[in-house]
Amino acid sequence: MAVKTKAQILSDTASVLADNTSGDITPSDVRSVLTDVVDSYKDEFKNLLDTPSSYSGKEDYLVKVNSAGDGLEFLTPDEFVDWADVTLQSGFTHGSERFQMKLQGGFLHFKGVVLNSTGSTISSRTKVGTAPASLASKIVNKFLPVMIYDSSGNNAYFHGAWIYSNRDVYISKGGLGWKANQGFYVSTSIINDAKAF
């Protein structure tokens, strides 16, 4: 068994093909190169043409398809931030599922519920909280639709949520306003590589 690097195998292959121009290639030459390929890569994820060449220093990293769509690569550390709570302003509370955000693979992910606990209807765009500190400097301005629902849990109408690069989170007023004790629900992902506004 001969475990070789990709460069070594390509060099060996080029030598065999060069021999063929003068008729010197043999079945043994071909068998030797193919055996090296199988022995070197049969159980490997790394060192393929479209995968990372080493696992060194990449413990606990995730793998993603690269931006060109033609290979796999490890996420860099700032591309993954696990779920963390949005810190809510006074007058707003987490609902049955806490309002959280994470960053993974270039996407911002959102989940959870925020309740209007101010005691009154909100009729203007209002700051409801601040995105997790772990996302500092990792967010570009984003807009996403959210569903406002009444106290019985029935969906009522759509609002919009704005997440700014400074981590401020705002909710738009919507046509009917955001009534006391109503919650907004969000469970979505949005790409984080370009500004939405």
DSSP 37-64: HHHHHTT-STTSTTS-S--TT-TT--EE
Res 182 pLDDT > 80: yes
Asked whether residue 67 falls in the same domain as residue 160, the answer is no
β-strand partners of 149: 155, 183
Looking at residue 28, its pLDDT comes to 75
pLDDT tens-digit map of 36-48? 766 666 555 665 6
Question: 11-15, 116-120, 161-165 — which is least confidently predicted?
Answer: 11-15
Could you give the 3-state DSSP secondary structure of residue 71?
coil
Asked whether residue 116 falls in the same domain as residue 181, the answer is yes
Residue 143 counted as domain residue: yes
Asked whether residue 107 falls in the same domain as residue 130, the answer is yes
Read off φ and ψ for residue 36, nearest 5 degrees: -60, -40
Looking at residue 54, its pLDDT comes to 77
Asked whether residue 185 falls in the same domain as residue 103, the answer is yes
pLDDT class of 92 with cuts at 50, 70, 90 = very high
Residue 122 counted as domain residue: yes
Range of the domain at 183: 79-191
Residue 32 counted as domain residue: yes
Question: 10-19, 66-75, 88-97, 142-151 — which is least confidently predicted?
Answer: 10-19
Looking at residue 128, its pLDDT comes to 95
Q: How many domains does the chain have?
A: 2
Indicate the residue among 53, 76, 99 that finishes a domain: 76
Asked whether residue 110 falls in the same domain as residue 63, the answer is no
Asked whether residue 56 falls in the same domain as residue 84, the answer is no
Asked whether residue 26 falls in the same domain as residue 118, the answer is no
Which pTM was predicted? 0.60
Asked whether residue 72 falls in the same domain as residue 94, the answer is no
DSSP summary character for residue 164: -
